[in-house]
Structure 1
């Protein structure tokens, strides 16, 4: 039987709640669009493009009640692939508007620049002291799934590492 404790929320919900207002204010974009970009752009453009910003049209009259007007999406694209993206932009606009569920984008502006995918940083995990290694093994008792055991072992080794202060004292 599994249940959620009162007040527990996935960390992704908390992070998105913090980031969405910042991204909306700065770039007019949401984490949902960034997170789903690979599916929206498709296999042809997912690796060479990145949404940068949505520029929403200004209202001419502050008292004007004209409803929503579609914006312009600025997309970073690498090198010569920008030409292919230009030819496919109508289809991309349709996909983006389908994602939002309303006509949010009227036009795409392509900016040529490098689009790098950040590689996750891997920390070198030092061997644990014998006492910490024994403690981790004791905690793993009763876990039958090998995949879960491996994941928890990696986490445990990272968490049980001696702090920087302890390493400085030992001269490492």
Structure 2
């Protein structure tokens, strides 16, 4: 449903579809997927219907060293993008250096400690009068216990 709403807007403003954005992690390697994003496709203007079709330029935003890695893999990425579209849609990549927002990953919930370990932490901190300090030390103890297993 979202694609049905977004695709016409993306097509008008950026010349591409949400499908390309969704497939981007498969088109580029996992390492580049986090630091690059396709921005738009610049289709060459045609003066008339009789003009032959010319492939477009894919504009890709890249952060720092990702731009260098992307530049070295340009040929392979163009082939993968064209395979995605099913025809020779793109013949050039244009890199734009800018920050790319990371994909949102939900925070992992830590597994609760066994009851015996929780009781031992509370017993160790029981003699501390300052409640905020006691709770902070218990949280620290939980964290240390989880890391050590």
TM over 0.5: yes
Tell me if 1:19 matches 2:9: no
Which aligned segments of 4 or more residues in structure 1 are displaced greater than 3 angstroms? none
Tell me if 1:101 matches 2:86: yes
Aligned partners of 1:25 and 1:65: how far apart in 2?
A: 23
Which residue of structure 2 lines up, in the alignment, with residue 5 of structure 1?
Answer: none
Unpaired stretches in structure 1, ≥5 consecutive residues? 1-13, 123-172
Tell me if 1:72 matches 2:57: yes
Aligned partners of 1:120 and 1:86: how far apart in 2?
A: 27
Q: In the TM superposition, what is the alpha-carbon distance from 1:121 to its structure 2 partner? A: 7.7
Q: How many residue pairs were aligned?
A: 107
Higher relative contact order (CA 8 A, sep 6+): 2
Deviations 1:63-85 (A, max 9, x none): x4234321000000110221121
Aligned-residue Cα RMSD (Å) equals 1.7
Tell me if 1:114 matches 2:99: yes
Unpaired stretches in structure 2, ≥5 consecutive residues? 108-149
Aligned partners of 2:102 and 2:66: how far apart in 1?
A: 16
TM-score, structure 1 as length reference? 0.58
Which one has the largest radius of gyration?
2
Aligned partners of 1:23 and 1:107: how far apart in 2?
A: 20
Select the residue among 88, 92, 104 that pairs with 2:77. 92
Q: In the TM superposition, what is the alpha-carbon distance from 1:33 to its structure 2 partner? A: 0.3
Aligned partners of 1:98 and 1:68: how far apart in 2?
A: 17
